[in-house]
């Protein structure tokens, strides 16, 4: 059976997180950009799918949400996990998927019920941003009490939490897995 990790990234940090999850994975796993996701949908040799996506200006990439919405039945019938990466998660309490309006809205919109959820703080990389993005992010950081100097690169990711998430989702035993379609909605959702 095959385990797959897909990432949808804006500035490359979600890819870095996905690769870190793969390094700590128990067993074999493949990492792919999200654009490859549809080519694996329905494959009978896939038993675990992890999808990671970044949030920019309060939104996930629209195409990620649309594609996941199309294939919710498949994702809900296999072991699956979702993680998001954003700068808001740098603040205490903002890294809890159960309290994240972004994650909860995304899950309601798609109908997906992943077995595990996580939010990881991202990386602030002013030198990498285009002018308009740099100004917008400076403004957001200023009003949220973050670094607004327009020059710094700061990685806020808690790599220990990334490792824990990887071990949790890869350590689930697929032979004991029951499809979510036969479970009570809400009872199967575990927050990592």
Residue 49 sits at φ, ψ, to 5 deg, of -130, 130
What's the rounded Cα separation, in Å, for the pair 32 and 38? 11
Residues in the chain, pLDDT under 50:
175-192
pLDDT at residue 173, as a whole number: 52
- The pair of structure tokens assigned to 149 is 């100097």
Residue appearing with tokens 């798609």: 110
Q: What is the pTM of this model?
A: 0.86
- The pair of structure tokens assigned to 147 is 């670094």
Phi-psi region of 117 (alpha: psi -120 to 50; beta: other; left: phi over 0): beta
Domains parsed from the chain with CATH numbers? 2-122+157-176 (3.40.50.360), 124-155 (no CATH)
What's the rounded Cα separation, in Å, for the pair 117 and 15? 17
> How many Å from the N-terminal Cα to the C-terminal Cα in the chain?
23
**pLDDT one-digit tens code per residue, 48-102:** 999 999 998 888 989 999 999 999 999 999 999 999 999 989 998 899 999 889 9
pLDDT at residue 26, as a whole number: 87
List the one residue out of 63, 68, 90 whose CA is nearest residue 81: 68
What's the rounded Cα separation, in Å, for the pair 58 and 118? 16
| Residue 144 DSSP symbol | T
CA 6 vs CA 22, 54, 76: distances in Å: 10, 12, 16
CA 88, 94, 99, 103 dihedral sign is positive
What's the rounded Cα separation, in Å, for the pair 174 and 101? 30
């Amino acid at each position: 059976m095959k385990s797959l990790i897909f990432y949808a990234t804006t500035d490359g940090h979600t890819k870095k997180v996905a690769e870190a999850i793969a390094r700590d994975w128990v067993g074999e796993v493949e990492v792919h950009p999200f654009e490859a996701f549809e080519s694996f949908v329905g494959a009978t040799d896939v038993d675990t799918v992890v999808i990671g996506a970044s949030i920019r200006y309060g939104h996930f990439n629209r195409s990620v949400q649309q594609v996941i919405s199309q294939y919710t039945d498949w994702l809900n019938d296999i072991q699956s996990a979702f993680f998001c990466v954003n700068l808001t998660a740098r603040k205490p309490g903002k890294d809890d998927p159960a309290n994240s309006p972004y994650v909860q809205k995304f899950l309601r919109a798609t109908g997906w019920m992943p077995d595990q959820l996580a939010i990881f703080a991202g990386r602030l990389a002013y030198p990498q941003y285009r002018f308009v993005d740099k100004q917008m992010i400076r403004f957001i950081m200023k009003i949220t009490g973050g670094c607004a100097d327009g020059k710094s690169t700061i990685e806020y990711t808690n790599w220990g939490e990334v490792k824990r998430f990887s071990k949790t989702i890869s350590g689930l035993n697929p032979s004991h897995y029951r499809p979510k379609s036969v479970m009570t909605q809400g009872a199967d959702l575990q927050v990592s």
